[in-house]
Structure 1
Amino acid sequence: MPAALIEVRRDYSAEEAQALIDALHAAMVSALEIPADDRIVRLVTHSPACFACPPGKAHPARFTLIGIDLFAGRSVAAKRRLYAAIVEHLAPLGIPADHILVRLNEIPRENWGVRGLPASEVDLGFKVEV
């Protein structure tokens, strides 16, 4: 049940935006083994003047910051798979690997509410410890 936020420095067409959202979601499904219908992905576009990026980027308009809130418990191997899958899925969209920054915010299940209960007390329907 990750909740992802993609932040970019350029406008995307509706089709490109959907492709970006789909690519990140596919990476999370494959690497984190979440159900395919578990989909919370947002895309926010900032003007370049309001979103500084690291210097030296060949295509600063393509700089992409991805934040993912997720339940604590994924292995380092699963996180490695996630980082690699994100780069792999975003490459066809013209986003270079060195223009992607991913940060994970791991949240204990008792700090995430689902259906009015702590997620630690709910059958999530998938395994978190992958």
Structure 2
Amino acid sequence: MPVVLIEIRRECTAAEETALMDAVHAAIVSALKIPAGDRIVRLQAHPPHRFACPPGKAQPDLFTLISIDLFSGRSLEAKRTLYATIAAKLGELGISADHILVRLREIPRENWGVRGLPASEIDLGFKVEV
């Protein structure tokens, strides 16, 4: 049940925004083995003057920050796969890996309220420890 926020420094068409959101979600489904329908993905476009990025980027307007809140418990290998898959999928959209920063925030399941209960007390329908 990851919750994703993608932040970019440019205006895009609706189709470009959808492609970006779809690419990140597909990477999460593939790497973390969550159900495809488990999707909470947001995209926020900032004017470049309101979103400073690291210096030295060849195309600073393509800098992309991806924050993912997720249950704790994924292996380092699953995280490596996630980072590589996100970079590959965004590369298909013209965003190079050196313009992508992914930040994971792992939250214990008891700190997520799902269906009125702590997520640690319900069957999620997928395995977290991948």
| TM-score higher than 0.5 | yes
Moved over 4 A (4+): none
Residue number in structure 2 paired with 1:61 = 61
Residue number in structure 1 paired with 2:22 = 22
Residue 36 of structure 1: CA displacement? 0.5
- Distance (Å, rounded) in 2 between the aligned partners of 1:92 and 1:77: 23
Residue 28 of structure 1: CA displacement? 0.1
Q: Report how many residues are paired.
A: 130
Percent sequence identity over matched residues?
A: 72
- Distance (Å, rounded) in 2 between the aligned partners of 1:12 and 1:110: 37
Residue number in structure 2 paired with 1:93 = 93
- Distance (Å, rounded) in 2 between the aligned partners of 1:91 and 1:12: 16
- In the alignment, structure 1 segments of 5+ residues that lack a partner are none
TM-score by length of 1: 0.99
Q: CA RMSD in A?
A: 0.3
1:13-70 Cα distance to aligned partner (Å, 9 max, x none): 0000000000000000000000010011000001110000000000000000000000
Residue 92 of structure 1: CA displacement? 1.1
TM-score by length of 2: 0.99
Residue 116 of structure 1: CA displacement? 0.3
- Distance (Å, rounded) in 2 between the aligned partners of 1:89 and 1:38: 19
Q: How does 1:40-119 map to 2 (within 5 A)?
A: 40-119=40-119
Counterpart of 1:83, as a letter, is Y
- In the alignment, structure 2 segments of 5+ residues that lack a partner are none
